[in-house]
Amino acid sequence: MKVVIKYELDKDLNLHVIPDEKFKTVYISYCFHMDLDENYTYNALVPAVLKRGCEGYERQEEINKHLEGKYGSLFDVGVQKRGERQILRFTMDLVNEIYVGMDGLIAQSLYFLNRIISKPVTEGSIFKKDYVNQEKENLKHKIQAMVNDKLEYSMERCIQEMCKDEKYARYVFGSIKELDSLDQNKLYDIYRNMIAACPLDIFVAGDVDPEKISILVKNSMEIERTHRKIIPETIIKKIGVKQRELIEDMDISQAKLNIGLRTNTSVNDKGYFPLVLYTSILGGGPHSKLFMNVREKHSLAYYAFAKMDKYKGILILGSGLDTNNYRQALDIIMQQCKDISMGKITEAEFTASINAIMTSVRGINDDPEGLVDYYLGNVVTGAKYSLEDFIEEIQKVKPENVVEVSKHIKTDLIYLLKPEEAVI
Amino acid sequence: MGKTIYNEHLREELVYHRLKNGLKIYILVKPGYSRQFAIYAARYGSNDSQFVPLGAKEPIVVPDGIAHFLEHKLFEEEEGNVFQEYSGLGAQPNAFTNFNMTAYHFTSTGKFHKCLDVLLGFVGRPYFTDENVEKEKGIIAQEIGMYQDNPYWRTFSNLLKGMYHSYPVKMDIAGTVESISKIDKEILYECYRTFYNPSNMVLFLAGDIDPDRIINQVEKLFDGKPKSKAEGEIERIFPKEKKGVSKHKIVDKLAVSMPMFALGFKDRDVTQGGERLLKKIVANEIILDMLAGPSSETYNELYDEGLIDSSFDTGYTGEVNYGYSVISGQSRDPEGVASVLYEKIKELKYKPWEQEHFDRIRKKKIGEVIRLFNTLDSVSIQFVSMGFKDIALFDYLRGIETAGFEDIIKEFNQLYREDSSTLSVILSN
């Protein structure tokens, strides 16, 4: 199991190094934390504009030529939703110097990322307008493209409706309306505020020497910090939830059913590990109740799963089915939840779930990006569990703990996306 | 026990052993890894729809989608289901079928040898009944429906239908609801007997594992079993594919936010695999990057005009008997993108690339191969699929390092021609 070495470089600015000699690449990620507030569309646009160019590499073409010459270093930016915050990420994944005999690759990558983040191409005191306008269009398309993947789309719609009055309903890539009335000055101000004040975590994973990395990161730092921005915590508990049903139409051939549940349990609650287990027993793979009953026993769906968003304490039960089977599938799915809360968990289901979780968690050790995601998750939630701790905790869970946590789980929204012509 | 192959550049160790029954075993030793990955694959895909069954003289034609159907069915056992067995061991099993192979794999983080027993066990133990075959038809029909709604898949599927006249790659891997309705247990057994022979299969394992112990284990497993002897080469029959494409353009409609497109160039210079195919694959990957990769003039002009976005991608597929290049993405104007690409291709005939560009892309490709060895499942799958074309993955790196600038130019002039291209477009309805 890998250790993480943490360096506090400044207030709200930490470096986390995960040394592991088996990796052939070095994965570097600068992660800024931002509130999922009313400026979420602006937040989503900032990294896309920064990606277009910086001092020394003003055009995308120059950036790409530079990266290709470095044995195809992968550079990317992105925005992720982690509970009620957006994480703006600037990432570089490079081949370790020792495999290509090219010294200084890590240092060069750090300098490059710093330049991208802090020395954008500007016109006066705003970003270069061409870049903003193009990336605004691209982001619009990205938002519209949500409909292309029906599974993702139906899940997102379920969450949007379920959390209608909460920050969490906001789509990670922003809203088209906001983009249409974009204020270029405001965009630049939000960017300046991000680099000056928002919490920043830097991760480096690979076959590296942590001490050397900490010096390289400090020396390459061009980001000036002036004040602190506190990001509010995600609201997880919701009382007075009433079960609702929403049916929408689309030009599709297979219906998608998504059931949104409130777990009212956060990562730091004692019910968290039992909840992880609950999710696995219910719909965490071929051993699960949903898979066995909805798919195998009744052949009602090609897929049926339970997916937890630990950052918001939401559970989504998803399946793809024929509209004719909707009521029957819904009944069977709900029955599985009831069965767990009544303690109807077989030993085989329980053991298989623990084993499945352990395999996934141990597997994170083999994936630099996965390791960074896991430890970034800890920063977001304030949890302190290493991968090893996680495995230890999950093994302590008893079936009665799973039954106990299921009492806090409430059905919120039953969302069905069905073909236009189909009748229920 | 096995033969060890060490690659200095990659610092990777591979152990190889061939059993008496013809099964090839490869073990990639990866110290420090928590996961183990195993893949057991047959050289049998959806393209193999016409063949001479084992022990027979005359060829037969089987329903489209049967290789994929067979893959689904093998998971079923007389006593319950293989998934449950794996679940008890904490392993994550899965399988896939493509045009040329069927593969069963698992990821484990412990109890590896038991998991391996399960894998070799169920793949070697078909159990088909009239009832369980009928039941599967419903599940697969749902799967086919799911693909029908996927615009990326539809763009690609239509592209193949447009490029090919009769080669089976034009048919969907899962078949159609109609074609799978003709499948019964007798025909499944026939396909199984012919293609699931150890001599037509490969076992590839990766992780922090002990090669000698594995080879022993597998040897024992097959010892004295009906399949302990090697069978001869399977006679596969493929229709002779006409030169040129079947259709230059295919347009379809789906609920998409923006039109999607795939522009394919059908390769007339087909191979039987091996070194010649390796050279082609390397050459085309470099060509596509030089022509339309992120640092190319083409890419940046199209991007700046707002005609493409970061979904724009390129790739070459090189298989035994067929091959094609694809340039794909989303665009408000797919025809516009295609005409810019045709224009650039013409331009390159009198204003060729520079050596410096070629050297840079070659470096990028070397990095890609090194990176591949980080991920056990990707590297294993890649290894097996290359192996079925008689290409060793370690040779792939050598292929890139020794690729010549002149070969690239020659291959470019041969393949990238407007008259051997198909444009597949999905419009928004």
Whether the per-residue pLDDT at A171 is higher than 60: the answer is yes
The per-type count for chain B, helices as H runs and strands as E runs, is 15, 14
Contacts of A356 in chain B (CB under 8 A): 87, 90, 92
Break chain A into its structural domains and give their ranges. Answer: 5-220, 244-419
The per-type count for chain A, helices as H runs and strands as E runs, is 16, 13
Contacts of A421 in chain B (CB under 8 A): none
pLDDT of residue B271: 95
Query: Which of the four pLDDT bands, split at 50, 70 and 90, describes residue B147?
Result: confident
Contacts of A20 in chain B (CB under 8 A): 32
Query: Which of the four pLDDT bands, split at 50, 70 and 90, describes residue A300?
Result: confident
pLDDT in tens, A120-150: 999 999 999 999 999 999 999 999 989 888 9
Contacts 24+ apart (CB under 8 A), B351-360: B352/B409, B353/B290, B353/B408, B353/B409, B355/B405, B357/B290, B358/B286, B358/B290, B358/B405, B358/B408, B360/A65, B360/A68, B360/A69, B360/B295
Q: What is the mean pLDDT of residues B83-108?
A: 94
pLDDT of residue B15: 97
Question: Residue B92 is encoded by which pair of tokens?
Answer: 């994550």
Report the alpha-carbon distance of residue B329 to residue B337 in Å, rounded: 10
Q: How far is A275 from chain B (nearest CA, A)?
A: 19
Average per-residue pLDDT for chain B: 94
Q: What is the mean pLDDT of residues A175-201?
A: 97
Query: Which of the four pLDDT bands, split at 50, 70 and 90, describes residue B227?
Result: low
pLDDT of residue A139: 96
SS3 state at B360: helix
The one-letter code for the residue type at A316 is: I
Beta-strand pair A5-10/A13-19:
antiparallel
Whether the per-residue pLDDT at B429 is higher than 90: the answer is no
Whether the per-residue pLDDT at B305 is higher than 60: the answer is yes
pLDDT of residue B83: 84
pLDDT of residue A68: 97
Q: What is the mean pLDDT of residues A198-205?
A: 98
Contact A7, A183 (CB under 8 A): no
Report the alpha-carbon distance of residue B239 to residue B259 in Å, rounded: 33
Query: Which of the four pLDDT bands, split at 50, 70 and 90, describes residue B224?
Result: confident
Report the percentage of chain B scoring pLDDT > 90: 88
Q: What is the mean pLDDT of residues A264-273?
A: 97
Query: Which of the four pLDDT bands, split at 50, 70 and 90, describes residue B230?
Result: confident
Which of B71, B76, B136, B411 is an active site residue? B71
Burial class (CB in 10 A: 0-12, 13-18, 19+), B114: middle
pLDDT in tens, B32-84: 999 999 999 999 999 999 999 998 999 999 999 999 999 999 998 888 778 88
Whole-number CA gyration radius for chain A: 23
* CATH fold match for the domains A5-220 and A244-419: yes
- Identify which of A251, A145, A253 has the alpha carbon closest to the alpha carbon of residue B260: A145
pLDDT of residue B143: 87
Taking the domain A5-220, which CATH number applies?
A: 3.30.830.10
Q: How far is A257 from chain B (nearest CA, A)?
A: 13
Topology (CATH) of A244-419: Cytochrome Bc1 Complex; Chain A, domain 1 (3.30.830)
The helix (H) or strand (E) run that includes residue B87 is helix B82-89
pLDDT of residue B193: 95
pLDDT of residue B378: 97
pLDDT of residue B228: 62
Question: Residue A335 is encoded by which pair of tokens?
Answer: 């029955």
Q: What is the mean pLDDT of residues A112-118?
A: 98
Question: Residue A4 is encoded by which pair of tokens?
Answer: 């993480």
ipTM of the complex: 0.91
Q: What are phi and psi of B308, to 5 degrees?
A: -135, 165
Query: Which of the four pLDDT bands, split at 50, 70 and 90, describes residue B349?
Result: confident
Whether the per-residue pLDDT at A82 is higher than 70: the answer is yes
pLDDT of residue A409: 97
Residue to mutate among A68, A73, A176, A362, with most B CBs inside 10 A, is: A68
Which residues numbered 190-249 in B keep a CB inside 8 Å of some CB on A? none
Domains in chain B: ranges and CATH: 3-228 (3.30.830.10), 249-428 (3.30.830.10)
Of B33, B90, B257, Cβ closest to residue A144 = B257
- CB A148 to CB B294 under 8 A? no
pLDDT of residue A1: 53
- CB A100 to CB B306 under 8 A? no
Dihedral sign, CA of B158, B162, B164, B166?
positive
Give the dihedral of Cα atoms B200, B4, B27, B40; nearest 10 deg: 0
pLDDT in tens, B157-166: 999 999 999 9
- CB B86 to CB A68 under 8 A? no
The verdict on whether B71 is a catalytic residue reads yes
Q: What is the mean pLDDT of residues A323-329?
A: 95
- CB B367 to CB A95 under 8 A? yes
Return left, alpha or beta for A33; rule: phi > 0 is left, psi -120 to 50 is alpha, else beta: beta
